[in-house]
């Protein structure tokens, strides 16, 4: 048998082709990494812009507060708003108004300034006096000034196409010798225009980036706005990095939230296209050198193969296979290496096939036995509860026949509890959960007569609300087990269960007691064992609480569990459930 040289040459050509494909793959991998690097750089740029705007906003608020406090603590303005002396007020009014006007004109962000005292005196040079008074009435500062720290009002003042917001800060009487009546408190209200924050930052923002300043649900200002992007879309952007489809284009987005607002920075994804990727010249040089070296090696390998081909073919023809475990010796340098490998692989596959067939037979037998055992277990699981409930019903009937009312009540309550725990759905109505709790407490009262009192403060509108099952009874059981340890005899041990809707439309469930309470260290350990996602060692008496927490989180990650306690007074557990998710 004679092997033609062209066959070997073809194989060598294939090696070269595969090597080229491998190098092309390396190049593609390089481009992909470069693209990811560009994406990271774009996100970093957006993050820098958003962080800068956030810092600029905080600095602006601080500067506005400092600018407003300047006139507010001058003698002229102090006497004008706090003094009851008409002569002193008249003498300082003109100076006070000049100070207000000067402070207002020093900043692009100040539309107007207002100074108002609890004496009822208001001084300003503003045309927005009615809007100021309307805001004061809304916060009831016109009746009593109870402002302790600065805050930004959420009620906008609309003027043409702009929206302004009041920044309130307290002003106190600090000038000696002022004749005043009773209170020495006042308010400085800065009517702010936050829109110029973006305009004044345009030189800092990346040249390809778009930025939005959203406050109180409206866009106050923007830089290079994106076509087709409205405030509804912007409000839906969550904090951090994301990608968004806007129109027919994809954008990288980074959002930073502030109190009652957010900064949103965007950049088109087209920035990281291949045309913007600049390959490294050294990388191309490495590829070229690799191809050259490989070509030289292949040349020498080709020459070596041609010398040994006929010799290896002769040895193969003379080889005799004998025995089940006999395998073909694989040549070190031979065109027939693949043939020998395939022959050996075929023999290995035959043995593997026989082994797998034997294993399959054994597994089939094991599966048949397991299926029969599973069917028997299923039959038993159906028979055991049925037999259990029939037995309970038999005991209840006997108790009723012999007028043993206490035993009848206990058996009835137990039957209801077991049926509820075995057959109730994962989500039940709150009324069902309350009924389950009452059955449990009925049994507890028979066990400990006149020792515990269950108080229910349930809003009837919450009874049809659907909640995860078995979330109240374990909490009440914890109260009975732990809350009244070492408490004085004859004391009224109360457990209170409450259910109502919050102002935000959320369902609030609480279980509290008037027991021994918990120390701060014990509360911290309880919170850690319940809330931690790590493998923290969990106390036996907090396993049930952690189970409740994990189950309510399964239905909605926004659901909450809160703990409150005061040593020697009470312990309370609250569940806050979000209706939009748990009831859909």
How does pLDDT run across 380-416, given as a tens digit for each residue? 444 455 445 555 555 656 656 566 667 777 777 777 7
In the predicted model, is pLDDT for residue 192 greater than 60?
A: yes
Nearest of 552, 540, 472, 545 to residue 506 by alpha carbon: 552
> Between these two residues, 572 and 532, which has the higher pLDDT value?
572
Query: Rounded to an integer, what distance in angstroms lies between the CA atom of residue 534 and that of residue 466?
Result: 30
| Confidence category of residue 15, pLDDT binned at 50, 70, 90 | low
Are the C-beta atoms of 223 and 266 separated by less than 8 Å? no
pLDDT, residue 498, reads 95
Beta-carbon contacts of 170 under 8 Å, excluding residues fewer than 6 positions away, are 145, 147, 148, 149, 150, 185, 186, 187, 188
Lowest mean pLDDT among 242-251, 339-348, 417-426, 533-542: 533-542
For residue 203, the tally of other CB atoms under 10 A from its CB is: 6
Mean of pLDDT values over 231-256 = 87
pLDDT, residue 510, reads 95
Mean of pLDDT values over 525-530 = 89
How does pLDDT run across 30-60, given as a tens digit for each residue? 677 777 888 888 888 889 988 888 898 888 8
Which tokens sit at 288?
């070229």
Highest mean pLDDT among 14-28, 70-84, 268-282: 70-84
Mean of pLDDT values over 334-357 = 67
Ranges assigned E (strand) in 372-526? 427-429, 452-458, 466-468, 493-501, 507-513
Mean of pLDDT values over 7-11 = 58
How does pLDDT run across 83-134, given as a tens digit for each residue? 777 777 778 878 888 888 888 888 888 888 888 877 656 666 667 888 888 8
Query: Rounded to an integer, what distance in angstroms lies between the CA atom of residue 7 and that of residue 9?
Result: 5
Which tokens sit at 150?
């600065």
Query: Rounded to an integer, what distance in angstroms lies between the CA atom of residue 179 and that of residue 459?
Result: 53
Query: Rounded to an integer, what distance in angstroms lies between the CA atom of residue 471 and that of residue 577?
Result: 12
> Between these two residues, 244 and 532, which has the higher pLDDT value?
244
Lowest mean pLDDT among 85-99, 160-174, 473-487, 550-564: 85-99
Are the C-beta atoms of 185 and 242 separated by less than 8 Å? no
| Confidence category of residue 564, pLDDT binned at 50, 70, 90 | very high
How does pLDDT run across 494-511, given as a tens digit for each residue? 999 999 999 888 999 999
Does residue 169 sit in helix, strand or coil?
strand
How does pLDDT run across 262-291, given as a tens digit for each residue? 899 998 888 777 666 666 665 676 677 667
Q: Show the domains of the chain with their CATH numbers.
A: 73-194 (3.30.450), 200-276 (3.40.1840), 424-582 (3.30.565.10)
In the predicted model, is pLDDT for residue 246 greater than 70?
A: yes
Q: Mean pLDDT, the chain, as a whole number?
A: 76
Highest mean pLDDT among 68-77, 298-307, 525-534, 569-578: 569-578
- Full DSSP string of 206-227: -TT-EEEEEETTEEEEEESPPT
| Confidence category of residue 456, pLDDT binned at 50, 70, 90 | very high
Mean of pLDDT values over 186-199 = 86
How does pLDDT run across 313-329, given as a tens digit for each residue? 554 455 444 445 555 56
pLDDT, residue 576, reads 93
For residue 368, the tally of other CB atoms under 10 A from its CB is: 10
Share of the chain above pLDDT 70, in %: 69
pLDDT, residue 5, reads 44
**H helix runs in 254-403, sequence order:** 281-317, 337-401
In the predicted model, is pLDDT for residue 250 greater than 60?
A: yes
In the predicted model, is pLDDT for residue 579 greater than 70?
A: no
In the predicted model, is pLDDT for residue 339 greater than 50?
A: yes
pLDDT, residue 6, reads 47
pLDDT, residue 410, reads 77
Nearest of 40, 21, 33 to residue 274 by alpha carbon: 33
Mean of pLDDT values over 353-361 = 77
Mean of pLDDT values over 129-145 = 81
Lowest mean pLDDT among 213-222, 407-416, 468-477, 549-558: 407-416
pLDDT, residue 321, reads 43
Nearest of 151, 172, 154, 174 to residue 163 by alpha carbon: 154
Nearest of 364, 511, 524, 537 to residue 434 by alpha carbon: 511
pLDDT, residue 41, reads 84
pLDDT, residue 3, reads 43
- Apex 397 CA angle, 393 and 399, nearest 5: 115
Highest mean pLDDT among 337-351, 361-375, 451-465: 451-465
How does pLDDT run across 152-181, given as a tens digit for each residue? 888 888 877 788 888 888 888 877 656 555
Lowest mean pLDDT among 150-154, 206-210, 310-314, 404-408: 310-314
pLDDT, residue 308, reads 58
Q: pTM of the full predicted structure?
A: 0.46
In the predicted model, is pLDDT for residue 203 greater than 90?
A: no
Q: Are strands 110-117 and 122-124 parallel, antiparallel or unpaired?
A: antiparallel
- Full DSSP string of 74-128: SHHHHHHHH---HHHHHHHHHHHHHHHHHHHHT-TTEEEEEEEETTS-EEE--S-
| Confidence category of residue 513, pLDDT binned at 50, 70, 90 | very high
Query: Rounded to an integer, what distance in angstroms lies between the CA atom of residue 61 and that of residue 555?
Result: 40
Query: Rounded to an integer, what distance in angstroms lies between the CA atom of residue 187 and that of residue 149?
Result: 10
pLDDT, residue 462, reads 92
pLDDT, residue 319, reads 47
| Confidence category of residue 237, pLDDT binned at 50, 70, 90 | confident
pLDDT, residue 2, reads 44
């Amino acid at each position: 048998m004679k092997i033609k040289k062209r066959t070997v040459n073809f194989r060598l050509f294939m090696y070269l082709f595969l090597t080229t494909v491998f190098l092309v793959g390396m190049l593609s991998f390089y481009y992909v990494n470069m693209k990811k690097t560009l994406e990271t750089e774009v996100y970093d740029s957006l993050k820098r812009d958003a962080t800068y705007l956030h810092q600029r906003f905080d600095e602006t608020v601080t500067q506005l507060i400092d600018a407003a406090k300047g006139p507010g603590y001058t003698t002229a303005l102090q006497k004008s708003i706090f003094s009851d002396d008409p002569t002193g007020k008249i003498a300082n009014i003109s100076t006070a108004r000049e100070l207000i006007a000067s402070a207002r004109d020093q900043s692009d962000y100040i539309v107007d300034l207002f100074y108002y005292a609890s004496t009822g005196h208001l001084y300003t040079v503003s045309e927005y006096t009615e809007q100021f008074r309307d805001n004061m009435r809304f916060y009831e500062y016109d009746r009593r000034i109870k402002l302790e720290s600065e805050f930004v009002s959420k009620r906008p003042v609309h003027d043409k196409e702009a929206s302004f917001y009041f920044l309130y800060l307290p002003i106190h009487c600090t000038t000696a010798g002022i004749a005043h009546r009773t209170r020495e408190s006042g308010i400085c209200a800065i009517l702010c225009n936050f829109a110029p924050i973006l305009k004044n930052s345009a030189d800092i923002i990346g040249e390809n980036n778009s930025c939005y300043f959203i406050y109180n649900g409206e866009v106050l200002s923007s830089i290079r706005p994106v076509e087709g992007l409205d405030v509804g879309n912007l409000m839906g952007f969550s904090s951090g990095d994301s990608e968004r489809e806007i129109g027919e284009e994809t954008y990288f987005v980074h959002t930073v939230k502030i109190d009652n607002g957010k900064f949103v920075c965007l950049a088109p994804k087209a920035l990281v296209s291949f045309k913007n990727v600049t390959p490294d010249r050294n990388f191309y040089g490495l590829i070229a050198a690799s191809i050259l070296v490989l070509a030289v090696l292949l040349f020498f390998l080709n020459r070596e193969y041609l010398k040994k081909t006929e010799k290896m073919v002769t040895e193969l023809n003379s080889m005799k296979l004998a025995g089940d475990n006999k395998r073909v010796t694989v040549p070190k340098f031979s065109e027939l290496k693949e043939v020998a490998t395939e022959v050996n692989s075929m023999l290995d596959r035959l043995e593997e096939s026989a082994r797998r067939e034997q294993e399959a037979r054994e597994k089939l037998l094991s599966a048949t036995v397991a299926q029969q055992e599973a069917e028997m277990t299923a039959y038993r699981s159906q028979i055991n509860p049925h037999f259990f409930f029939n037995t309970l019903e038999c005991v209840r009937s006997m108790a009723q026949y012999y007028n043993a009312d206490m035993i009848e009540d206990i058996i009835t309550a137990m039957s209801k509890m077991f049926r509820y725990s075995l057959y109730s759905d994962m989500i039940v109505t709150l009324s069902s959960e309350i009924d389950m709790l009452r059955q449990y407490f009925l049994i507890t009262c028979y066990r400990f007569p006149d020792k515990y009192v269950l108080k229910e403060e349930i809003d009837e509108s919450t009874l049809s609300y659907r909640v995860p099952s078995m979330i109240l009874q374990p909490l009440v059981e914890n109260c009975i087990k732990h809350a009244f340890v070492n408490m004085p005899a004859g004391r009224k041990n109360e457990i209170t269960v409450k259910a109502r809707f919050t102002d935000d439309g959320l369902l609030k469930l609480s279980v509290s007691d008037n027991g021994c309470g918990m120390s701060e260290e014990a509360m911290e350990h309880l919170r850690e064992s319940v809330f931690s996602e790590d493998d923290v060692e969990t106390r036996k008496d907090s396993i049930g609480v952690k189970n409740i927490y994990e189950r309510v989180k399964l239905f909605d990650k926004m659901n909450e569990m809160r703990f409150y306690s005061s040593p020697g007074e009470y312990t309370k557990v609250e569940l806050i459930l979000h209706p939009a998710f748990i009831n859909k």
